């Protein structure tokens, strides 16, 4: 029981939260009931974030939740109403950028409590479908002409004429909004409200818009266009000083007295009835929603006097009285919505009010009719005016056929636009993922990178040195092979000359009979005709073997030379491996266990050892 009592108390606090915040704004000091009501409803609209939801997005939410198939008098419970509001706000967050996300749960709670307090005063826990549609379509964002067109579609019959009983029902529901913000005595519902608005017998769309958007509108709905004007002038700046509060600039509306020269008031002073000097509250004031410099005023007056500025323009486009035949959209596959605010921007620049206003997404006949009218009203009106003056009546059907083809083309272009935007979004996500820094990049150390570059440079130098030593080794092997051939020739000659002296020098022909020349990298001289001259490029033990007068065991001397070359190559390979291991350790420390590279040289140590024990004969 205690828990239930605490829950009820919390619900009551949440229910009264919006009204307590509205009272804190002190709107009751505004002396004019029209401005007072408009300011209160504008506060509720912004506090519940309804000003961010366009009227066409609201209509789409009605269709997605199946409300277009229900009767206006059908009732829905509070839990389903909460589900509908959740879908509206979650779809709104998908369209908003990440830096402008709203608190969905708080917005749902505030709006749900306000709707229940407004339309369920007897606590039945249910609301009618028409009540919810009328309230959300009136309090959401968007143009007033779009809202009134949607409302007219809900209260008109199949021929396009308004049903007075449905309009009377609309007035009952929409006038509950001023009553909810404690302005019922000024804008309450009466039985004569309908005939006060429309004394005519047959009301079509243009007449409906003319009456509700006139200046002034019907007295019971005078707060509705004012609420939209408030939204349009919230950020308008006037570089003029207020004559009462002496503020050097004004935001919002600006009021200029028609009797007192140069007397101007800001909206705060005018709404509260402030006056000073010769000015009186009984003087006629003119409301300004924008600032024009004296130069602009002069140019505008000149253009108006010359007939360049049209006079008496209608407040809304003139729509055809007879609705066109709707398209068959029963088997149409709806495209997936794109969660990107850029989609809205591009489609609005192309002439469509919002992406949800596509021809392929129309839910029913009435919605389809008014969406087409909204998009091409100006063009149809212009073409109809030109055709009546220049073309015979028989050409009207041709113009309507051309307009249908243009609508189909625009619908195809909008679908292609959605596909392109989806592809752009996908490529953008891939690019962001590819450009994100990886942990390996983040863990890099400039000092370690410098040492790694030095080790790699040292490794390259050792590789070049090893290549040079391998080339020298090949040349030395060629020289040793030539020396072995010379040694065999000397032994054969000594065997054939049995009476010769053992210390005699080799003949000149023997030096010239060498099969191939002896080259050396250490000396650039060419071989001569004597064996000693042929050894000019050879040093160490090999030179000693041929320089002495008594022949030595030259095979052993050649093995000693080969061992010297092999030891040099082995030491070079070890040094190269040590440098490579250091580089691999540095890369391993940077990558936290990365793969270890291997350096492959052209000839392994095992091959060198094999040549050491099996020299070339």
pLDDT along the chain (617 residues), means of 10: 50 75 92 94 95 94 92 93 95 93 94 92 89 95 94 92 93 94 87 82 90 89 93 90 89 92 92 90 90 64 59 64 53 47 41 40 53 62 56 50 78 86 87 67 68 84 85 83 83 74 43 41 39 46 49 60 73 72 65 44 46 45
Residue pair 261/234 in contact by the 8 Å Cβ criterion: no
CA–chain centroid gap for 343, Å, is: 10
Cα 400 to Cα 471: distance, rounded to the nearest angstrom: 90
Residue 269: what pLDDT? 93
CB 264 within 8 A of CB 240: yes
Alpha helices in 497-553 (DSSP H): 508-512, 531-534, 541-547
Answer positive or negative: Cα dihedral of 22, 26, 29, 31.
negative
Vertex 373: Cα angle to 370 and 376 (nearest 5): 150
| Distance separating alpha carbons of residues 291 and 236, to the nearest angstrom | 8
What is the enclosing helix (H) or strand (E) of 595?
A: none
| Opening angle at CA 339, ends 334 and 345, nearest 5 | 95
- What's the CA gap between 439 and 247, in Å, rounded? 57
* Residue length of the chain: 617
CA distances from 94 to 52, 53, 306 (A): 12, 12, 50
Closest CA to 48 of 88, 94, 8, 7: 88
- Please state, in angstroms and rounded to a whole number, the distance separating the CA atoms of residues 544 and 531: 13
Residue 240 CA to residue 247 CA, distance in Å, equals 8
Q: Can you give the pLDDT at residue 62?
A: 94
- Which residues are 286's β-sheet partners? 256
Residue 376 pLDDT:
61
CB 88 within 8 A of CB 61: yes
Q: Token pair for residue 278? A: 């010769």
How confident is the model at residue 16, as a pLDDT? 81
For strand 264-266 and strand 254-257, is the pairing parallel, antiparallel, or unpaired?
A: antiparallel
Q: Are 257 and 197 in contact (CB under 8 A)?
A: no
Asked if 373 and 322 count as a contact pair (C-beta separation under 8 A), the reply is no
Please report the pLDDT score of residue 398 as a whole number: 53
d(CA 206, CA 156): 13
Query: How remote is the C-alpha of 609 from its chain's centroid?
Result: 66
The Cα 19–Cα 16 span in angstroms is 5
pTM of the model: 0.51
Residue 304, phi then psi, degrees to nearest 5: -70, -40
Verify cis geometry, omega within 30 degrees of 0, for the bond prior to 216.
yes
The single-letter DSSP state of residue 220 is: G
- Long-range contacts formed by 379-382: CB under 8 A, 24+ apart: 379/403, 380/319, 380/320, 381/317, 381/318, 381/319
**CB half-sphere exposure, 558, CA atoms < 13 A:** 20
Report CA-CA distances (Å) from 176 to 95, 181, 454: 31, 9, 82
DSSP secondary structure letter of residue 334? P
Question: How far is Cα 466 from Cα 451, in angstroms, rounded to an integer?
Answer: 22
Please give the structure tokens belonging to residue 474.
């090949």
pLDDT of 356 reads: 40
d(CA 21, CA 130): 28
Name the token pair of 170: 């609309």
Asked whether 326 and 365 are in contact (CB, 8 A), the reply is yes
d(CA 409, CA 412): 5
Structure tokens at 449: 């990178």
Residue 211 burial (CB count, 10 A) = 17
């Amino acid at each position: 029981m205690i828990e239930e009592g605490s829950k009820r108390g919390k619900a009551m606090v949440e229910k009264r939260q919006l009204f307590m915040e509205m009272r804190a704004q002190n709107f009751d000091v505004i002396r004019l009931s029209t401005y007072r009501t408009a300011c209160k409803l504008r506060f509720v609209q912004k506090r519940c974030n309804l000003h961010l939801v366009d009227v066409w997005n609201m209509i789409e939410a009605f269709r997605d939740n199946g409300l277009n198939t229900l009767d206006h008098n059908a009732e829905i419970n509070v839990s389903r109403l909460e589900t509908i509001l959740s879908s509206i706000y979650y779809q709104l967050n998908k369209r908003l950028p990440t830096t402008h996300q709203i608190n969905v749960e708080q917005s749902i709670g505030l709006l749900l409590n306000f709707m229940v307090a407004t339309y369920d005063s007897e606590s039945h826990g249910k609301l009618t479908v028409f009540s919810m549609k009328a309230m959300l379509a009136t309090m959401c964002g968007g143009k007033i002409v779009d809202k009134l067109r949607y409302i007219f579609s809900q209260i008109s019959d199949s021929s396009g004429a308004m049903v007075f009983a449905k309009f009377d029902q609309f007035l009952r529901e929409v006038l509950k909004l001023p009553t909810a913000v404690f302005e019922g005595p000024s804008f309450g519902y009466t039985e004569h409200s309908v005939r006060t608005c429309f004394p005519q017998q047959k009301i079509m769309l243009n007449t409906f818009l003319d009456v509700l958007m006139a200046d002034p509108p019907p007295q019971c709905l005078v707060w509705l266009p004012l609420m939209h004007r408030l939204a349009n002038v919230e950020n308008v700046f006037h570089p003029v000083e207020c004559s009462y509060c002496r503020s050097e600039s004004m935001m919002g509306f600006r009021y200029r007295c028609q009797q007192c020269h140069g007397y101007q008031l800001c909206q705060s002073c005018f709404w509260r009835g402030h006056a000073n000097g010769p000015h009186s509250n009984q003087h006629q004031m003119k409301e300004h929603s924008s600032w024009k410099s004296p130069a602009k005023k002069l140019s505008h007056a000149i253009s108006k006097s010359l007939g360049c500025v049209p006079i008496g323009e209608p407040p809304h486009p003139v729509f055809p009285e007879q609705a066109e035949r709707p398209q068959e959209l029963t088997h149409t596959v709806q495209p997936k919505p794109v969660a990107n605010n850029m989609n809205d921007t591009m489609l609005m620049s192309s002439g469509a009010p919002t992406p949800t206003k596509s021809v392929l997404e129309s839910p029913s006949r009435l919605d389809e009719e008014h969406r087409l009218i909204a998009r091409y009203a100006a063009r149809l009106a212009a073409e109809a005016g030109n055709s009546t003056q220049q073309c015979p009546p028989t050409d009207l059907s041709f113009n309507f056929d051309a307009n249908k083809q243009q609508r189909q083309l625009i619908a195809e272009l909008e679908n292609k636009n959605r596909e392109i935007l989806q592809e752009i979004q996908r490529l953008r996500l891939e690019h962001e993922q590819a450009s994100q820094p990886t942990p390996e990049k983040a863990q890099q150390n400039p000092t370690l990178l410098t040492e790694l570059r030095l080790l790699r440079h040292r490794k390259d130098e050792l590789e070049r040195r090893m290549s040079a030593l391998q080339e020298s080794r090949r040349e030395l092997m060629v020289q040793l092979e030539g020396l072995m051939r010379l040694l065999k020739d000397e032994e054969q000659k000594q065997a054939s000359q049995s009476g010769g002296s053992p210390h005699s020098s080799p003949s000149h022909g023997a030096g010239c009979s060498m099969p191939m020349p002896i080259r050396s990298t250490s000396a650039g001289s060419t071989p001569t005709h004597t064996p000693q001259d042929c050894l000019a490029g050879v040093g160490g033990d090999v030179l000693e073997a041929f320089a002495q007068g008594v022949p030595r065991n030259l095979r052993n001397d050649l093995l000693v030379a080969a061992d010297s070359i092999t030891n040099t190559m082995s030491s070079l390979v070890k040094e190269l491996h040590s440098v490579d291991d250091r580089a691999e350790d540095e890369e391993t420390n940077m990558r936290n266990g990365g793969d270890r590279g291997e350096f492959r040289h052209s000839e392994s140590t095992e091959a060198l050892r094999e040549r050491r024990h099996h020299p070339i004969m």
